[in-house]
Amino acid sequence: MNLLEVRDLYANAGDKPILKGLTLTIAAGEVHAMMGPNGSGKSTLSHVLAGKPGYTVTSGEVLFDGKDLLAMEAQERACAGLFLAFQYPVEIPGVSNMEFLRTAADARARALGAEPPAAVDLMRRLRAISSELGMNPDFLKRGVNEGFSGGEKKRNEILQMSYLEPRLAILDETDSGLDIDALRIVGEGVTRYLQTHPDSSVLLITHYQRLLDHIVPDVVHVLANGSIVESGDRSLALKLEARGYAWLDAG
> Which residues lie near other proteins (CB under 8 A)?
50-53, 73-75, 78-79, 83-84, 86, 89-90, 92-96, 99-101, 103-104, 107-108, 111, 143-144, 160, 164
Residue 200: count other Cβ atoms within 10 Å of its Cβ. 21
DSSP SS3 for 88 = coil
Chain-centroid distance, C-alpha 130: 19
H/E/C letters for each residue in 190-242?
Answer: HHHHHHHCCCCEEEEECCCCHHHHCCCCCEEEEEECCEEEEEECHHHHHHHHH
CB 89 → other proteins: shortest distance, Å? Answer: 7
CB 93 → other proteins: shortest distance, Å? Answer: 5
Residue 222: count other Cβ atoms within 10 Å of its Cβ. 22
One-letter identity of residue 125: R
Q: Which is nearer to other proteins, 119 or 128 (CB)?
A: 119
Strand partners, 227: 224
CB 236 → other proteins: shortest distance, Å? Answer: 29
Q: Which is nearer to other proteins, 88 or 247 (CB)?
A: 88
Residue 92: count other Cβ atoms within 10 Å of its Cβ. 14
Residue 109, H or E segment? helix 97-112
Q: Which is nearer to other proteins, 72 or 224 (CB)?
A: 72
CB 168 → other proteins: shortest distance, Å? Answer: 13
CB 169 → other proteins: shortest distance, Å? Answer: 11
Q: Which is nearer to other proteins, 44 or 160 (CB)?
A: 160
Q: Which is nearer to other proteins, 41 or 81 (CB)?
A: 81
